[in-house]
Amino acid sequence: MKTVSIVISAYNEEGNIEKLYEELEKELSKVSNVAFEILFVNDGSKDQTFQKIEKLIEKDSRVKMVNLKRNFGHEIAMTAGMDYAKGDAVIFMDADLQHPPVYIPEMVKSWQEGYEIVLTKRVDNVATSWFYKLCAKTFYWLLNLLSETKIPESMPDFRLIDRRYVDFLKGFNEQDRLFRGLLSWIMPNDKVKVIDFVAPVRFSGTTKYSFIKSLQLAISSITQFSVRPLRLATYLGFAGAACSVLLGLYVIFEHFIQHNPTPGYATIVSVVGFVGALQLITLGIVGEYIGKIHMEVKKRPLYLADLIEQNQKDDHFEK
């Protein structure tokens, strides 16, 4: 019998674990001819998430936990889950019930029909404000403008991936990773199905992505998939040089032809200030990339984890 692993990343989700398990149990019982592995990834939670998952492991042998030794972030948590998942297909989902388990039977059925990747498209997210939606839109517009790998908007990490593509994804070793970007990189043209859904509000707790954290993720996503911002420095340099030449010509014209010398330090101060700011911005962009190289060349393990399942406990350094 084929198996499907369900990988659930959880960071401080104590209020959601039991409810999610209940819903999963209900939905998984509707699927026949498939065995399930429910793999929680505890991403260094500081609340009772670990204990709640442990309780589930005691009563249900399908439940396992990849326990990360500290908080490594959602992207690494999904990577750890993918590395430990044994299934012929892997479903990724959040722990807060914003990825409703009710869609799992349809995802599995599509996979059984031959689709190798089943994506979900969030047609609406009732939990987010117009400001967040605007920021997300701007981010995806900028990302797709700058990057050759196109990453569609509103495609959350709730998806099923066949083992063949899971193995491809395991081939990416970068520290700094945007899962949906990596998936776009390997996305086939066929055998992909998209299921629409409306994301409900979180069942319990609050979002783990503050505005600053989202901004950091946005900047690192752009640098991961594009070097075009680096070229911006060159373009700005050319544009600045052209402006200086034009300004020089204007000053000469005023002085010798119009006999009206351009007065004042104000122009000089603003030009110097503007050029200084441009230099700082471009230095910042270059710095972002150098920082990334610095982190990547060390080739540190992506995470440190152990696997907890019924009657067994392993310690691992991974990758």
Q: Give the binding site for Mg ion (CB under 5 A).
A: 94, 96, 98
Q: How many of the chain's residues bind ligand UDP (CB under 6 A)?
A: 16
Using alpha carbons only, how large is the chain's radius of gyration in Å? 25
Report the alpha-carbon distance of residue 252 to residue 259 in Å, rounded: 9
Nearest approach, Cβ of 94 to ligand UDP (angstroms)?
4
94 counts as binding ligand UDP under rule CB under 6 A: yes
Of 5-13, 167-175, 239-247, 290-298, the window that binds ligand UDP (rule: CB under 6 A) is: 5-13
Q: How many CB atoms lie within 10 A of CB 2?
A: 13
Residue 219 or 278 with smaller CB distance to ligand UDP: 219
Indicate the angle between helix axes 228-252 and 266-297, nearest 10 degrees: 160
Interacting residue with ligand UDP among 4, 5, 9, 183 (CB under 6 A)? 9
The site partner of 316 among Mg ion, ligand UDP, none (C-beta below 5 to 8 Å per kind) is none
Task: State in Å, rounded, how far the first CA of the chain is from the last one.
Answer: 29
Per the CB < 8 A criterion, the answer to whether 159 and 119 are in contact is: yes
Of 67-75, 146-154, 225-233, 262-270, the window that binds ligand UDP (rule: CB under 6 A) is: 67-75
Distances from the Cα of 43 to the Cαs of 8, 119, 250, 290, 300, in angstroms?
10, 24, 61, 28, 18
Residue 34 or 305 with smaller CB distance to ligand UDP: 305
Residue 164 or 208 with smaller CB distance to ligand UDP: 208
82 counts as binding ligand UDP under rule CB under 6 A: no
Residue 1 or 126 with smaller CB distance to ligand UDP: 126
Per the CB < 8 A criterion, the answer to whether 308 and 54 are in contact is: yes
77 counts as binding ligand UDP under rule CB under 6 A: yes
Bridge-based pairing state of the strands 89-94 and 2-10:
parallel
Contacts of 261 (CB under 8 A, 6+ apart): 254, 255
Residue 52 or 193 with smaller CB distance to Mg ion: 52
Nearest approach, Cβ of 187 to ligand UDP (angstroms)?
22
Interacting residue with ligand UDP among 209, 211, 235, 238 (CB under 6 A)? 209
**DSSP class of residue 61?**
T
Contacts of 314 (CB under 8 A, 6+ apart): 306, 307
Report the alpha-carbon distance of residue 129 to residue 127 in Å, rounded: 7
95 counts as binding ligand UDP under rule CB under 6 A: yes
65 counts as binding ligand UDP under rule CB under 6 A: no
Residue 5 or 98 with smaller CB distance to Mg ion: 98
Residues that bind ligand UDP in the complex, under the rule CB under 6 A: 9-11, 13, 43, 71, 73-74, 77, 94-96, 98, 207-209
